Amino acid sequence: MSCIERILTEARDLSRDDLILLVNKLMEGFSHESATSSPKKMIAPRLDCPICHSNAHVVRNGHKHGKQAYICRQCGTSFVTTSNTLLSGSHFGTEIWTKVLEETLRGTSLDKTVKSLASHGCKISHSSLFFMRHKIMLALEDMQVEQPATVEDVVEADETYVPESKKGTKFGPDASRKPRKRGTPASKRGLSDEQICICTAVQRKTGDLIVKSENRARPSSANVVDIYTGHVQKGTLFLTDGMNVYPRLGKILGITVMNVKKESAGFFNLNTVNNLHSFIKRRYTEYRGVATKYLNRYNLVFRAAYRQRTTIGELAETLFASRNPKKVHHYGDVKELNLLAI
């Protein structure tokens, strides 16, 4: 591979702003005139005004918190490069947010991420990092709404279970149970209401998957119908372990449901979905437990990280560059929006 090819390969992982910076640096190196010209001649992102949505009268207006600031001369609105994005209101730039995204997908705990960022010269508190991570997960939820996950062809489906967790919750005198240390086994044997069900379905060839929690202990037929409706294409071969809730799903969605236990070994197996379950359990341990109310947010992280087909740079570009005021999540959203209440 030539030097140019290596540079182009690495450049694909850069965000839009980083690419602009790279081009500017190249222009400075190859042209003395570019190095001495005014900043207006440099390549800069053409931003629309968040109020009047025009870019014809938008000019640079200094810096704010290390970010390029702009002002719209048509309506007088001042804004920065991250206004109306996921990074809106944050003092940290795209590079730090991308690092947080990377550590989240990698399964790194918050404490270890704080230390990792500190080693790169960025001091950030545990609580600030918590909100940054959850804002990223809320952005993944927005992506799920816009582009719902779908599976087809040959799909393996099964359930895995994790213990209920009230991590981060203070127990008062009226609490439903006493607090327990992480790793303490459930008080009831087997599947009980102390276990949270994670329903999973994986497309065998591509690794596309559906992962969602909706109930405690074993799911009902109503649970699986609600989870998979709109996500499994008609005509799909749906391989299961024979649990009696799936036949109804087959009739409603127009798919073929087969029990692998009644078929000969070989093609009929659940190896792929079992591999997914092992992946989820490993990440669950690496995160040092996940509060049950946030479990579906982490399920989307598992979906994004499993057999990851997009680079960190591509995913960061999708999450951080989108400008939509309706998707600018604040700290109140982290504590209240789309929580799992079971």
Residue with the larger pLDDT of the pair 34 and 339: 339
Can you give the CATH number for the domain in which 278 is found?
A: 3.30.420.10
pLDDT of residue 34: 40
Do 141 and 300 contact (CB within 8 A), yes or no? yes
Categorize the per-residue pLDDT at 35 as very low, low, confident or very high, splitting at 50, 70 and 90.
very low
Indicate whether 176 belongs to any domain. no
What angle separates helix 271-286 from helix 295-305, to the nearest 10 degrees? Answer: 120
pLDDT of residue 27: 63
Indicate whether 131 belongs to any domain. yes
Categorize the per-residue pLDDT at 63 as very low, low, confident or very high, splitting at 50, 70 and 90.
confident
pLDDT of residue 203: 95
Query: Taking the chain, what is the end-to-end CA distance rounded to the nearest angstrom?
Result: 53
Tokens (6 digits) for 104: 């989240």
54 shares a domain with 17 = yes
Do 101 and 319 contact (CB within 8 A), yes or no? yes
Tokens (6 digits) for 48: 């629309």
Range of the domain at 161: 149-167+191-290
| Last residue within a domain, chosen from 37, 62, 80 | 80
Residue pLDDT, tens place only, 121-167:
899 999 999 999 999 999 999 999 888 999 999 999 999 999 998 88
Indicate whether 336 belongs to any domain. no
Average pLDDT, the chain: 86
> Mapping DSSP to helix (H, G, I), strand (E, B) and coil, where does residue 195 land?
strand
For residues 324 and 342, what is the distance between their CA atoms, to the nearest angstrom?
A: 31
322 shares a domain with 219 = no
Indicate whether 90 belongs to any domain. yes
For residues 261 and 26, what is the distance between their CA atoms, to the nearest angstrom?
A: 61
| Last residue within a domain, chosen from 21, 52, 80 | 80
Residue pLDDT, tens place only, 171-228:
888 887 888 887 787 778 888 888 999 999 999 988 899 999 999 999 999 999 999 9
257 shares a domain with 154 = yes
Indicate whether 180 belongs to any domain. no
Task: Give the residue ranges of DSSP H helices in 147-244.
Answer: 221-228
When divided into structural domains, the chain yields a total of 3
| Last residue within a domain, chosen from 64, 80, 96 | 80
pLDDT of residue 219: 94
pLDDT of residue 252: 94
Kindly give, in sequence order, each residue whose CB lies less than 8 Å from that of residue 137, ignoring residues fewer than 6 positions away. 104, 294, 297, 298, 300, 301
